Chains A and B, each alone.
Chain A
Amino acid sequence: MKKSYQSLEDNSTNNMKHVIYRNLTSKILHLGFILLLTFSTTLLAQEDPEKGKSLFNTNCASCHRLDKKSTGPALRNIEARLADEQGLDRDWIYAWVRNSPAVIKSGDAYANKIYNEYGQTAMTPFPQLSDDDISNILAYTAAPLPPLPEDPCIANPGGPGCDQSKPKEGSNTLILAALALLFALLALALILVKRTLKRFAEAKDIAIEETPKGTSIWKAFVQNQFLVLVTAIFFLLASGYFVYGYLMQVGVDQGYEPVQPIHFSHRIHAGDNGVDCKYCHSSARVSKTSGIPSLNVCMNCHKSISEVAPETLAEGETYGVDYNLEIQKLYKAAGWDDTEQEYTGDASPVKWIRIHNLPDFAYFNHSQHVTVGGIECQTCHGPVEEMEIMRQDAPLTMGWCINCHRETNVKVKDNPYYTKIHEQLSKKYGVEQLTAAQMGGLECGKCHY
């Protein structure tokens, strides 16, 4: 320790300034102290963990987490740990936060140890944080570890959130069971009533008239040739209808919903979090295929999101999915070691199952529709942002393509590519708005070649 101070004194003026600075802050602190005491009764009220939390989240959380190593070390109880293990006081923390490169340069032993341990990346200086700000942040990091979230329904069965999900399902089945029982009782009652009535009739010797049996309905039917003919025609037409229906849906995969190797919820990503489709499917802008994101795109966010929020986890239970396990699957595939925060290099490709697949004889280009045409992804793929499990929404048949080409007006406004052709064609057809079909969207060779 002494040695490091020695070197500190030997060092350049930069460090001298640093020391002066330190004394200065402590003087200011003392002044602040007196001022504080005059205005407030308790000093502790000044260290506000709530304020600290928001400061932590805006400034520190990009590199530090409370209980887990990130780009920088975990920060839970950092002040106490530094004091116990390294003998470093709050002044050291102030200096480090405001200008860590200077502390490292000063030859401070612990600062250099940390610097080397974390890949020689110096912490970004935060000169804008005041002593109070840093104290608040430290108060936040000193907050005790929150107890494991217990099921609130055990402690407080009538509490909010407890009469949702599971109990609701239970009550539904209960109602159904009650209804079934009611119907069974009714049926039983009717049978019993009928039986007693019969007994009464027998006891009073009343003969129940039996309806005379005429020619059976089948025989009457056979004898009526017109009816036979109509029925035959009906059945032929009906079977023709169903056979046609069956043959027409061969090769159509509408509603195809395979089980993917990693449960990826478009509902959460594109819906709740509002991530643009083109964030992950970036090549839809510029190429034929829309692109299945490589795992580094997933890791852009999931490097920091290793667990989902408790609400999201609860939502997952209704779908029978543990989202945290799915994130672990991603880490395994990407070869990411979450505790050490580094790639192990042991990656394996995820074998996603392709859903939308046009036959080989049809050509479709995403960029042509997405970038040039400006068509929303949902036009063809349906409400993906609501789908928990991805499925094929459209039939992707030729008739479906053609229909859209006939009905969709081409967006020519602000698109210099179309200016000339639009002028010529709108004159030719005598219309103001051109459909894709009028621009040649029905030519065979556009899609089949």
Chain B
Amino acid sequence: MHINMKTFKLTVVFVMLLSIVSCNKKSRRNYQYMPNMYQSVGYETYQGSDAFKNGVEAQLPVEGTLPRGYSLYEIEDTNEGYELAKATLTSPIDSTAIDYNTGKALYDIYCGICHGNKGDGKGKLVQREKILGVPSYDDAGRAITTGSIYHVIQYGKNTMGSYANQLSEDERWQVVAYVEKLKADLEK
């Protein structure tokens, strides 16, 4: 009887331990030893915050200001702006600063998925018929130029969205250079 009690107790302890370990639900975070060492006192990226009206810590720059390292793109997002950029805008980086490897790496990530890695408008999403009607870069009706490429990356056009938040200014110009190279290759 005495031993029976002992084994009984041991089994209870054993079962309790097992249940604690197995109760670790997938949809819930685990316990932490010292939460105040784990959780940041300062705001973490994207954290909610009562300090601002829209309830998040991440805020847009104040209107009319530019973050450090950014420069102003003065051409407006209108049809006239597009024509203006197409006709007048040129690349600020000279031929020695153009790095086609960087351009290609970025192009393949951000543009190639629709425009195709060769720029022929046959990216993976087009081939799988998810997105349709992506033009080839050598499309005569559009006749893209340095300025128009940059303008469209900056603001987007028709169903294409803006890529200004995924690519920095310099990266945008590198991609423009690479797109022009693709266009030249297509027109050969």
Q: Is the C-beta of B90 less than 8 angstroms from some C-beta in chain A? A: no
| Shortest beta-carbon distance from A146 to chain B in Å | 15
Interfacial chain A residues near B166, Cβ < 8 Å: 279, 282, 297
Q: Is the C-beta of A245 less than 8 angstroms from some C-beta in chain B? A: yes
Asked if residues B31 and A250 are in contact (CB atoms below 8 Å), the reply is yes
Asked if residues B56 and A349 are in contact (CB atoms below 8 Å), the reply is yes
* Closest chain B residue, CB of each to CB of A119: B79
B134-174 contacts to A, CB under 8 A, are 134-135, 139-142, 156, 158-163, 165-168
Q: Is the C-beta of B4 less than 8 angstroms from some C-beta in chain A? A: yes
Give Cα distance in the complex from A279 to B167, angstroms: 10
Give Cα distance in the complex from A253 to B124, angstroms: 35
Asked if residues B159 and A62 are in contact (CB atoms below 8 Å), the reply is yes
Question: B26, B33, B54, B110: which contacts A279 (Cβ < 8 A)?
Answer: B110
Q: Is the C-beta of A238 less than 8 angstroms from some C-beta in chain B? A: yes
Question: B108, B121, B159: which contacts A63 (Cβ < 8 A)?
Answer: B159
* Closest chain B residue, CB of each to CB of A255: B26
Q: Quick one: CB contact mask for A268-294 with B, threshold 8 Å, 1 for yes?
A: 000011111011001000101100101
Asked if residues B133 and A128 are in contact (CB atoms below 8 Å), the reply is no
Interfacial chain B residues near A64, Cβ < 8 Å: 133
Instruction: Report whether over half of chain B's contact residues are helix, strand or loop; otherwise say mixed.
Output: loop
* Closest chain B residue, CB of each to CB of A414: B101
Q: Is the C-beta of A126 less than 8 angstroms from some C-beta in chain B? A: yes
Give Cα distance in the complex from A446 to B31, angstroms: 26
Q: Is the C-beta of A256 less than 8 angstroms from some C-beta in chain B? A: yes
Known: A120-B79, A349-B54, A361-B37. A57 touches B26 (CB 8 A): no
Q: Is the C-beta of A299 less than 8 angstroms from some C-beta in chain B? A: yes
Give Cα distance in the complex from A298 to B140, angstroms: 30
Known: A63-B159, A221-B3. A276 touches B141 (CB 8 A): no
Q: Is the C-beta of B70 less than 8 angstroms from some C-beta in chain A? A: no
Q: Is the C-beta of B13 less than 8 angstroms from some C-beta in chain A? A: yes
Interfacial chain A residues near B46, Cβ < 8 Å: 292, 352, 354
* Closest chain B residue, CB of each to CB of A129: B141
Known: A58-B133, A305-B131, A359-B37. A276 touches B161 (CB 8 A): no
Asked if residues A121 and B14 are in contact (CB atoms below 8 Å), the reply is no
Asked if residues B21 and A276 are in contact (CB atoms below 8 Å), the reply is no
Q: Quick one: CB contact mask for A293-331 with B, threshold 8 Å, 1 for yes?
A: 010110111011100010000000000000000000000
Q: Is the C-beta of B66 less than 8 angstroms from some C-beta in chain A? A: no
Q: Is the C-beta of A59 less than 8 angstroms from some C-beta in chain B? A: yes
* Closest chain A residue, CB of each to CB of B36: A360
Asked if residues A276 and B109 are in contact (CB atoms below 8 Å), the reply is yes
Q: Is the C-beta of A127 less than 8 angstroms from some C-beta in chain B? A: yes
- Residue of B3, B39, B165, B166 contacting most chain A CB atoms (<10 Å): B166
Known: A63-B158, A359-B38, A360-B40. A253 touches B29 (CB 8 A): yes
Asked if residues B31 and A251 are in contact (CB atoms below 8 Å), the reply is yes
Question: B31, B113, B142: which contacts A276 (Cβ < 8 A)?
Answer: B113
Give Cα distance in the complex from A273 to B112, angstroms: 12
Interfacial chain A residues near B95, Cβ < 8 Å: none
Q: Is the C-beta of A409 less than 8 angstroms from some C-beta in chain B? A: no
* Closest chain A residue, CB of each to CB of B125: A273
Asked if residues B124 and A71 are in contact (CB atoms below 8 Å), the reply is no
Interfacial chain B residues near A292, Cβ < 8 Å: 46
Give Cα distance in the complex from A409 to B64, angstroms: 47
Interfacial chain B residues near A391, Cβ < 8 Å: 26
B72-124 contacts to A, CB under 8 A, are 79, 108-110, 113-114, 121, 124
Asked if residues B130 and A301 are in contact (CB atoms below 8 Å), the reply is yes
Q: Quick one: CB contact mask for A73-112 with B, threshold 8 Å, 1 for yes?
A: 0000000000000000000000000000000000000000
- Residue of A128, A282, A294 contacting most chain B CB atoms (<10 Å): A282
Asked if residues A126 and B133 are in contact (CB atoms below 8 Å), the reply is no
Interfacial chain A residues near B167, Cβ < 8 Å: 282
Interfacial chain B residues near A59, Cβ < 8 Å: 133, 135
A38-84 contacts to B, CB under 8 A, are 56-64, 70-71
Question: A242, A252, A301, A349: which contacts B55 (Cβ < 8 A)?
Answer: A349
Q: Is the C-beta of B132 less than 8 angstroms from some C-beta in chain A? A: yes
Question: B21, B141, B156: which contacts A126 (Cβ < 8 A)?
Answer: B141
Asked if residues A253 and B30 are in contact (CB atoms below 8 Å), the reply is yes
Chain B residues with CB under 8 Å of chain A are: 2-4, 10, 13-14, 17-18, 20-21, 24, 26-33, 37-41, 45-46, 48, 54-56, 79, 108-110, 113-114, 121, 124-125, 128-135, 139-142, 156, 158-163, 165-168
Q: What are 15 sample pairs from A and B whose C-beta atoms fall under 8 A apart?
A: A59-B133, A62-B135, A125-B141, A128-B141, A242-B21, A246-B21, A258-B27, A276-B113, A279-B113, A282-B165, A289-B45, A296-B162, A297-B161, A297-B165, A351-B48
Chain A residues with CB under 8 Å of chain B are: 56-64, 70-71, 119-121, 124-128, 218, 221-222, 235, 238-239, 242-243, 245-246, 249-253, 255-259, 272-276, 278-279, 282, 286, 288-289, 292, 294, 296-297, 299-301, 303-305, 309, 349, 351-352, 354, 359-361, 391
The 6 nearest A-B residue pairs measured at CB: A62-B133, A61-B133, A61-B132, A300-B161, A282-B166, A359-B38
